[in-house]
Amino acid sequence: MKGIFITFEGPDGSGKTTQLHKAAEKLRQMGYEVLESREPGGTELAEKVRSLVLDASLPLAAKTEVLLYLAARSEHVEKVLRPALATGKIILCDRFCDSTLVYQGLVKGLSKEQLAELRRLNAYACDELIPDLTLLLDGRTEVLAERRSLRGVSDRYEDKGLEFQRQVRTGFCTLAELEPQRIRVINAEQSADKVAADVLQVIRAVLPE
């Protein structure tokens, strides 16, 4: 029995973490075994890497930043994600390779060749693991920014301002256009309950009977 690998992506403030928990709860009620995880993170070492990369007081060279995310991903895939898939679990993961392509790739204005290289590095780090489904929680930058300011959270990226967040949104939408089968766009501006219903509807389509 092979599990199902579902990732949640989107700009900061899109509500993906809340929605991931809601979906996990619902799926458990339906009798599925669910693993919730996140990137960077998911293992003790990867969580330590997370605190390094998200610490705005530690300036990172661009390649160091990429390699830290990928190091955390490699740990996570090998030690947590692959074993969970092998035992038939449904994995809901908060961010994965698409975030690297957006934050360390598209937003940085990398050339086509550099982006292709980043894709290869991603594939190397995650040993070619591709999500069965990716939910992109998308909404207007101003609306999501308003939510973020209400939450009062801040890290290396969240402090970068509206223009940065706009580029992040554009980056994710570009990826969704390239892979419409895998990446399904959900309107994150709706009420939390409506977003949860849309998320579940899309997930249902990939569940085993």
Query: Which residue lies nearer to ligand TMP by CB, 43 or 104?
Result: 104
Q: First-to-last CA distance in the chain?
A: 13
Q: How far is the CB of 112 from ligand TMP (least distance, A)?
A: 20
The least CB distance from residue 53 to ligand TMP, in Å, is: 7
Residues contributing to the site for ligand TMP (CB under 6 A): 12, 38-40, 54, 69, 94-95, 99-100, 103-104, 157-158
Distances (CA, A) of 48 to 68, 120, 141: 10, 25, 30
Q: Which is nearer to ligand TMP, 99 or 167 (CB)?
A: 99
If the CB atoms of residues 5 and 69 are measured against ligand TMP, the closer one turns out to be 69
**Shortest distance, position 29 Cβ to ligand TMP, whole Å:** 25
Q: How far is the CB of 106 from ligand TMP (least distance, A)?
A: 11
Is the CB of 142 or the CB of 159 nearer to ligand TMP?
Answer: 159
Rounded Cα–Cα distance for residues 166 and 187 (Å):
16
71 vs 207, beta carbon nearer ligand TMP: 71
What is the closest distance, in whole angstroms, from the C-beta atom of residue 156 to ligand TMP in the complex?
7
- Rounded to whole angstroms, the Cα distance separating 93 from 82 reads 13
